[in-house]
Structure 1
């Protein structure tokens, strides 16, 4: 399944900046950054509760907002992208 993770982490204090880095780093483990605070991730269904729980533990529930959108299986035909495309094929083999 594909999911889209979006987040707004309050960076008004030092702890907020740290949380922002932690959330971004966590999301990079599961997918690719589409925009600054947006990640497209391909996961197995069983992984979603764990991801939700981990993100809850990283965020400040009173200051931050994270949304997870379940996109289903075949999302590429449903996405309209305008401008420069910076995505890589998430199905492809990657070498960093």
Structure 2
């Protein structure tokens, strides 16, 4: 499946969450990640994320799609992390 993950967490935990999300997804903007991921890997990511966040203050939002082709993406301005595929 293709997901977009967005998080809003306290400043002291941002580094840990950034490092965790980069293990599974592509960083595209501050606190925003996207990419193909299996259901098992997504559950793994969320399990680890729950150890980092404060459920009373922080949040993680995940948008899911079967495939990237079903999602239209428009970037206005400079794309922070361009995903180029070089062979």
TM-score, normalised via structure 2 length: 0.80
Structure 1: segments with no counterpart, 5+ residues: 12-16
**Alpha-carbon distance between aligned partners in 2 of 1:40 and 1:67, rounded to the nearest angstrom:** 12
Aligned mate of 1:29, from 11, 23, 33? 23
Q: Which 4+ stretches in 1 moved above 6 angstroms?
A: none
**Alpha-carbon distance between aligned partners in 2 of 1:23 and 1:41, rounded to the nearest angstrom:** 16
Deviation, 1:76, is 7.2
Give the aligned length.
Answer: 86
Residue equivalent to 1:46: 40
Residue equivalent to 2:82: 87
**Alpha-carbon distance between aligned partners in 2 of 1:77 and 1:57, rounded to the nearest angstrom:** 30
Deviation, 1:10, is 2.0
Aligned mate of 2:52, from 53, 58, 65? 58
Structure 2: segments with no counterpart, 5+ residues: none
Aligned-residue CA RMSD in angstroms?
Answer: 2.1
Question: Are the aligned partners of 1:33 and 1:40 in contact in 2 as well (CA < 8 Å)?
Answer: yes
Residue equivalent to 2:8: 8
TM-score, normalised via structure 1 length: 0.74
